[in-house]
Structure 1
Amino acid sequence: MALTTITFPEIHLQPRDAHKLRGYFGELFRAHSPLLHNHYEDGTYRQQYPLVQYKVLDGTPTLVGLGDGANLLVQLFLHIRELDIDGRHYAVQAKHIVHQPAPIGFCAELHRYRFATRWMPLNQENHREYQQLDPAGQRAQLTRILTNNLVALLKAAGAYAPDLPRLLVHLALGEPVVTQFKNQPMLGFGGEFIANVLVPDGLGLGKSVARGFGAVQRVD
């Protein structure tokens, strides 16, 4: 499956600005595709894994597209001339694009990944459950959630089937950090995980990956 990554190396933003990137591009190119903002014309929300994601990685504004989202970003690349973040205009003097096949799926080897941005696994319902568990239970719950996150990505990439090998996941997370999301406190996690899957750098796992959360980078 194709993966497109667009970066703006001369513009520096904060990780919290990722959702503003999404708002800007989603509005700028609203007529092109619901993949850019995950809303259909009737206002309903697109529930599937986001195929266009907006991130700030190491201070650099970054757009990542997968599959149809990858092809869409290629079409729009030449039309990106500036960024408007909270009314502050950034002229785009340099922009880089990489469009290439991305291996995604099960593999025989285990690979180690780190979360380049905070992973947000919990919603209101499972957050309450998480708070009531002992440390071992919390770890088991987070492992189940990450496993489901990986399955969602594999399904979006057409790389999942029930008869495939069992997904193996091992988590090594730091202490949770309270992260503001839509003016609500949410738990975000940093750290690493090991799994028997191939995941391209930059793609997100968990909640709100379109807004920059849960971006992974392969370590080994």
Structure 2
Amino acid sequence: MKPMQKPEKSASMEIKHFVAIFDFEMERRQIPGFRGAVVKKVGEENVLFHNHLGDQQFLYGYPLIQYKTIGRHPAIICINQGTEEVIKFFEQVNWDLTIYGKRIETEIRHISFDYFQCGLSPEPVRYKIWNWFALNEENYATFSALNSDAEKIERLRRILIGNMLSFAKGVQWNVDGEIKVEIPRLPRQRLVSFKRYRMTGFDLEFVSNMMLPNFIGLGKSTSRGFGLIRRVG
């Protein structure tokens, strides 16, 4: 078997981008139930829907099928191969879902597919990111010990750039050029529920030269709705 070759460096990368928003409303905390209902509908053998390989093994890497809430409506966001796999859900006899024991008859409120050109823009692009898990237990302690807002902003900026590079790697984009990020102010921290734990999340605006598609996730637990980004303006 030939070793996998690293993709050549490129200033841009075209990716497939799919968005489906359902017609019913639910809370963001119900996303795990929505995700589980979709997985049950298509079957656990379709690994991209849940990234579990069995026996406590996981498919690591950037998730190509992600579950979100957009304007209180549940949504499925797919990238590249995920846009092909998601057809297995839509070819079902119906799209009814059972979420936490409640059966819901669903329709699609919005659906779109496009080819998005990721790249480095000569002009800055403004984004907002919601429920961003930037810190684990270890780096939260380090972050909290920093003395100034400027130091904390710089730490978050570096983590965000790392999250962007993880996305790029997940879509086989070997970025040719410097990723620039500015965070204008230190965001407020808030506690977010995740797997029976309370973790620190951030909502913040940032500016970057990296062009990213709406509604994808950055950071930890993106498949469960965290770190959702959207362009501003």
Name which of 206, 212, 219 aligns with 1:193.
206
The residue aligned with 1:166 is 178
Aligned to 1:26: 39
Counterparts of 1:103 and 1:16 in 2: how far apart (Å)? Answer: 32
Partner amino acid for 1:111? V
1:105-120 matched pairs, under 5 angstroms? 105-115=119-129, 117-120=130-133
Identity of aligned residues (%): 29
Give the C-alpha shift of residue 169 in structure 1.
Answer: 0.3
Q: Distance in 2 between matches of 1:94 and 1:30?
A: 21
Runs of 4+ in 1 over 4 A off after TM superposition: none
For 1:146, which of 150, 153, 160 is the aligned residue?
A: 160
Aligned residues: 216
List alignment gaps of at least 5 residues for structure 1: none
Equivalent pair of 1:30/1:37 in contact (CA under 8 Å): no
Offset, 1:95: 4.8
Over the residues paired in the alignment, what is the CA RMSD in angstroms?
A: 1.6
Residues 39-73 of structure 1, C-alpha deviation per residue, up to 9 Å, x if partnerless?
11443111201110001111111000101011111
> Once the two structures are superposed, what CA deviation does each residue of 1:117-161 show, in whole Å capped at 9, x if it has no partner?
311111121112112112222211111110000111111122224
Identify which of 31, 50, 63 aligns with 1:37: 50
Question: Is 1:67 matched up with 2:42?
Answer: no
Q: Matches of residues 79-90 of structure 1 in structure 2 within 5 Å? A: 79=92, 80-90=94-104
Range that drifts further, 29-38 or 125-134: 29-38
Number of the residue aligned with 2:26:
13
Give unmatched runs, 5+ long, in structure 2.
1-14
- In the superposition, the TM-score normalised over structure 1's length comes to 0.91
Instruction: Indicate how the Cα distance of structure 1 residues 6 and 32 shifts in structure 2: closer, same or farther if over 3 A, else same.
Output: farther
Please say if residues 111 and 218 of structure 1, whose CA atoms lie closer than 8 Å, have aligned partners that are also in contact.
Answer: yes
**Counterpart position of 2:10:** none
Aligned pair in 2 of structure 1 residues 42, 149: CA closer, same or farther (>3 Å)? Answer: same
